[in-house]
Amino acid sequence: MVRRTGSILLLVGLLTGCSALPFVGGGAPRPAPAAQADSAEAKPSRTAYSKLIPPRAQTTRGLFITHMVDDKLYFEIPRSALDVEMLVVATMAKNRGGGLPGAPIGNRVVRWQRRGDRILLLSPSYTIVADSASPIFRAVEASTHPPIVASFEIKAWGPDSAAVIDVTPLYTTKNPDFGPRINGNIEKDRTFIERATAYPENVEVRATHTYTVTPQAPGSNQRPSPRTESMVVHWSMVKLPEKSMQPRLWDSRVGYFSVEKTDYSTDEHRAARYQYITRWRLECPEGQTIPCEPVEPIVYYIDPATPTKWVPYIKQGIEDWQVAFEAAGFKNAIIAKDPPDDPDWSPEDARYSVVRWMPSLTENAMGPHVHDPRTGEILVADIQMYHNVLNLLTKWYFVQVAPLDARAHRVPFPDSLMGQLLRYVVAHEVGHTLGLQHNMKASSTYPADSLRSVSWLRRMGHVPSIMDYSRFNYVAQPQDSIPVELLVPRIGPYDKFAIEWGYKPVPGANSPEEELPELDRRARAQDTVPWFRFSTPGGSGVVASELTEAVGDADAIASTRLGIENIKRTVPLLLPATEREGRDFSQLRELYQALLNQWVTELRHVAAIVGGAEGREKRGGQEGVRFEPLPGSRQREAVAFLNEAAFRTPEFFLDKEILRRLDPAGAIARISQSQRSVLARLLNGDRIANLIEFEALARPGEDVYPAGEMLHDLRRGVWSELSASRVKIDAVRRLLQHAYIDLVEENLKASPERAPQRHDAQALLRYELRRLDEEIRAALPRAGDGLTRAHLEAVRVRISRILDPKT
């Protein structure tokens, strides 16, 4: 329950985990009437209890009393634990092949309730609300009846009239509402509970599940042979806080995960939606105000399975966030610890947040968290570090900044370098577990030329948020003499701003609504400080300043030009970095492809300018609009740059010493495929439609880039050879030009129903094909070689068939 405008609210709906997999929810249950419960209650039977729970039982006492009797698990549930909200968190403790240790299976809120001679396990949830004083309260309550996850016969009564139930089937049978969802049959004789332990606020249960699984084989007439899979599943059942944390209302200007609620009892003439941010509970000791040390800091334990040499760097990545919490008024708010020397300690125990090290080929890391659906309070967070994130970091760092750091001239990197890269990844994932979303706008809010200034980088870093997908500073040049420690992102100004906005208390505010004026004042700091800004909702794919994997995209053209200079410097480093006596060239292949991908990524940042807009999230009372098309002059510059940097043959990639170690052939196709992916960004129906709309809505004299002009400029760039006195087109360009025809044809075949402006786009593309055909016809007599002539004649045939399919 929470209080709002003086009345008690009913909270019901779906539990939404930010990163963990949620179970399906239901409504808030009503306790069984007291009279009914009392009338059904039998007198405690100590004799029955002693027979059911013999002296050999393995018993633990806490939130419940647990009893393991041979292969059965009994819960002894006292009255005080009935109708109490608890959170069940299920994780994979052990597995082979089908999952990862520590991976979340699901979480749900549950409540134990007595009904006659049975104990029911119900699942309330919390996204629909209604004021208990409102007439609609009863309708909301009636329409959100909670599901019953399980039902148990009361087998005996404990000495204090606690109900004793056999919960073995709950943990050993296939129950998609409570355990793993497996497409197979559970084998009862090979499925059993391993242990159960009760603590004051939680109960931990671990069980081995064995399944007979028949693999799926799509498109095959042969039925695959069944196989056996066993896994160990760990459940934590944790009592939710009795005193709820005061929630904080979400604001789209600051990037937090949130829990959404729908209120049917407001004065608005619609069902009002509002959201609470997800965050940890940080409170000063009684009688103190900020700055203070919180009563309960945020503590992360390091998985004992973590390679020892990485532990110090992981701890640093966690505690790097201290500076942000200090800005919010909390000292020593976030702490990294080694696990306690306790044989009963388990990383799956939901009382502990753990950085897990996972033996996986997956090149990634994750930072999920589990929160109280009533208030958004984060209760536990497990960061998952997949082992091969080390390989991903190697590729990123090498292809982006190898010319700037001599330590990266040979792989594997020294541990001192790799440790710092791991520290960066851990800090990013910790940010998610603190409630923060990605902020892809961050990298575009610094002046691009500042990223080459040592003094700026020392003070501000090269990106204002570690929550951006902005990796290493590829804008810096060797002559800038940037210290290597300044090439890696760190906690930045936006991160401090966001933590302060979300965690700093608002003095005197006794409800979420009373906090709003102060939170709005904090958010409006974005009016004058660009690097406090967050991504604009609804702008994905159009806002050109909210890009992934970008550095310095306040001026993507200049930054990409500098980035390509570093790519050219990196190509000669490939062989000496990877060649080893007696080793194959697989790592050379991997890094060469990663370097080619980096080239494409940076060029796409420029392509996003064309048909793009600037975006900035605002609220009522802030001047200006949220979206504004980019100036036409900027878009023209982008197309001119791409015609030169993307669509000219990149000779620096065609190093025979490298290519002939990789394949006997295929180098040209590899380059062509990369160019095609950039060209597709420009010959995109939606992008062309954007240009048409921007021109249609432009004010008189406004600087626009008409779609027809863009397509003309692009055609002249891709087909520039046609204007030469002697027309000769190399193999890479021939493939690019065929890709141009392919993409135009795809656009002409696409249905325009989704975007009506595509009618105009298709008309313009047909016009461009006719002009191209005329230019090719005029250029054919000047063809400088047989392949060029054959290519041009083939293209004319293709154009004829596209424009007039009957031919």
Tens of pLDDT, residues 174-215 = 877 777 777 778 888 999 999 999 988 899 999 999 988 776
In the predicted model, is pLDDT for residue 612 greater than 60?
yes
pLDDT at 29 over 50: no
What pLDDT score does 407 carry?
98
- CA-closest candidate to residue 118, choices 69, 77, 57: 77
Per cent of the chain over pLDDT 70 is 87
Residue 110 CA to residue 148 CA, distance in Å, equals 9
Q: Where does the pLDDT of residue 671 fall: very low under 50, low under 70, confident under 90, or very high at 90 and above?
A: very high
pLDDT the model gives residue 775: 98
Domain 277-504+547-551 has CATH 3.40.190.290: no
| Of 277, 270, 271, nearest in space to 252 by CA | 277
User: Residues with Cβ < 8 Å from 266, sequence gap 6 or more?
Assistant: 272
Given pLDDT bands bounded at 50, 70 and 90, which one contains residue 102? low
pLDDT over 90 percentage in the chain: 72
Q: Which of 373, 378, 270 is nearest to 26 (CA)?
A: 373
Whose tokens are 């249960």? That residue is 205
**Mean pLDDT score across all residues of the chain:** 88
Q: Which residue has the higher pLDDT, 180 or 483?
A: 483
pTM summary value: 0.87
Per-residue model confidence as pLDDT tens digits over 410-434: 999 999 999 999 999 999 999 999 9
Is there a contact between 772 and 719 (Cβ–Cβ < 8 Å)? yes
- For 496-534, what is each residue's pLDDT tens digit? 999 999 999 999 999 999 999 999 999 999 999 999 999
| Position 62 confidence tier, pLDDT thresholds 50, 70, 90 | very high
**pLDDT given for residue 267 in this prediction:** 56
Q: Which helix (H) or strand (E) holds 707?
A: helix 707-718
Q: Contact at 8 Å (CB) between 786 and 732?
A: no
Neighbours of 178 (CB within 10 A): 22
Half-sphere exposure of 479 (CA within 13 A, CB side): 2
More confident residue, 101 or 181: 181
Bigger pLDDT: 564 or 373? Answer: 564
Is the pLDDT at 40 greater than 50? The verdict is no
Q: Domain residues of the chain, as ranges? A: 3-240, 277-504+547-551, 600-807
Q: Is the per-residue pLDDT at 87 higher than 60?
A: yes
Band of residue 374 on the pLDDT scale cut at 50, 70, 90: confident
